[in-house]
Amino acid sequence: MASKEVILTRDGLLKLEQELEHLKTVKRKEVAERIKTAIDFGDISENSEYDDAKNEQAFIEGRIITLEKMLKNAKVIDKNQNDTKTVSIGDTVILKDLEFDEDLEYTIVGYAESNPTQNKISNESPVGEAVLGKQVGETIEVEVPAGNIKYKIIDIKND
């Protein structure tokens, strides 16, 4: 079974590499030290410090494996090669919500980088998928659980 391609911007790639490095060089050592300290307390069968540290160690090791797999399958998007007339991954798009007459700004990224609190939405999300390949002035309709929302593409920023 082939692993899923992970689409990343250069910034996203850098952040994942930094997180992986931090987990391997800092967090692993911190948790190992906590485990050693907990063992030094004696009986580990009822030692909550030991249990907490072992659980954190398992989480860190799982995250390291996940990050390594994502980086191995990474496809980095070069925003400079994007067509500036149509929405591509890595672009920031300004949409007008036609029902509420408000402007929304989203950066379209791969799922690994998506963070709605930072207005970074996945290319696989309903809005992200709907705007890809579209041009300024086009109206799109997005099906969401609450119904359909219509947006007009106001601007595409490729910076």
Q: Which domains occur in the chain, in start order?
A: 6-76 (1.10.287.180), 82-157 (3.10.50.30)
Instruction: Give the pLDDT confidence score for residue 4 in this predicted structure.
Output: 81
| Average of per-residue pLDDT across 7-13 | 89
Residue 109 forms beta bridges with which residues? 122
Instruction: Give the pLDDT confidence score for residue 1 in this predicted structure.
Output: 47
pLDDT reading at 103 higher than 60: yes
pLDDT reading at 88 higher than 70: yes
Confidence band, pLDDT 50/70/90 cuts, at residue 80? low
| Average of per-residue pLDDT across 83-107 | 91
Q: How far apart are CA 82 and CA 41, in angstroms?
A: 58
- 146 vs 125: which has the higher pLDDT: 125
The backbone torsions φ and ψ at residue 143, rounded to the nearest 5 degrees and listed phi first, read -85, 120
Q: What is the pTM of this model?
A: 0.75
Query: Per residue in 33-52, is it b (16+ CB within 10 Å) or e — as a string?
Result: ebbeebeeeeeeeeeeebee
Calculate what percentage of the chain has a pLDDT beyond 70. Answer: 95
The dihedral sign for the CA sequence 75, 77, 81, 82: positive
Instruction: Give the pLDDT confidence score for residue 82 in this predicted structure.
Output: 58
